[in-house]
């Protein structure tokens, strides 16, 4: 029988965070799907409606938290999948820092976009 290998240490912090973020993402994606596909149909959604939702602090906070959680979950998952495939040494370090830099860019741009939709000044 093949042995199970994972770069996550079971019971470790990163292992736990990957599971917690997955659960959170399931809840938020369900909310998103329900709101934008059952309450409002795709042809009814407009920029003005989205901007109105983002002006509500609870919705804005949820979307920023969603951005942070999804970025962490996705990048952490990709990184660990690559490590599980045998990525090591200098390549591993380069991939890690590239993913971190891409995460920072994604988060900064995502927050700038959320702020623009919410009418929060960008300065």
Q: What is the dihedral of CA 72, 73, 77, 79, to 10 degrees?
A: 0
pLDDT, tens digit, for every residue of 86-102?
Answer: 999 999 999 999 999 99
Using an 8 Å Cβ cutoff, are 73 and 86 in contact? no
Instruction: Name all domains of the chain by residue range, CATH numbers in brackets.
Output: 13-118 (1.20.1300)
Average pLDDT over residues 53-79: 94
Average pLDDT over residues 62-68: 95
Do the beta carbons of residue 108 and residue 68 sit within 8 Å?
A: no
Query: Of residues 3 and 70, which shows the higher confidence score?
Result: 70
**What's the pLDDT score for residue 5?**
59
Instruction: Return d(Cα 33, Cα 99) in angstroms, integer.
Output: 28
Rounded to two decimals, what is the model's pTM? 0.83
pLDDT at 105 over 80: yes
**Predicted pLDDT of residue 39:** 83
Q: 7 with 85: CB under 8 angstroms?
A: no
Residues with Cβ within 8 Å of 106's Cβ and at least 6 positions away in sequence, in order, are 67, 71
CB 50 within 8 A of CB 117: yes
pLDDT tens digits, 23-63: 999 999 998 888 878 887 777 878 888 888 899 999 999 99
Q: For residue 13, is pLDDT > 60?
A: yes
DSSP state of 43: G
Q: What is the pLDDT of residue 38?
A: 83
């Amino acid at each position: 029988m093949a042995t199970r290998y994972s770069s996550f240490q079971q019971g470790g912090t990163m292992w736990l965070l990957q599971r917690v973020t997955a659960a959170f993402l399931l809840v938020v994606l369900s909310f998103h799907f329900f709101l934008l596909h059952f309450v409002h149909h795709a042809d009814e959604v407009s920029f003005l409606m989205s901007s109105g939702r983002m002006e509500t602090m609870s919705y804005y906070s949820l979307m920023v938290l969603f951005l942070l959680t999804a970025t962490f979950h996705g990048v952490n998952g990709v990184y660990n999948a690559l490590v599980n495939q045998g990525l090591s040494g200098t390549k591993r370090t380069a991939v890690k820092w590239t993913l971190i830099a891409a995460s920072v860019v994604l988060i900064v741009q995502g927050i700038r976009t959320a702020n623009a939709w919410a009418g929060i000044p960008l300065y």
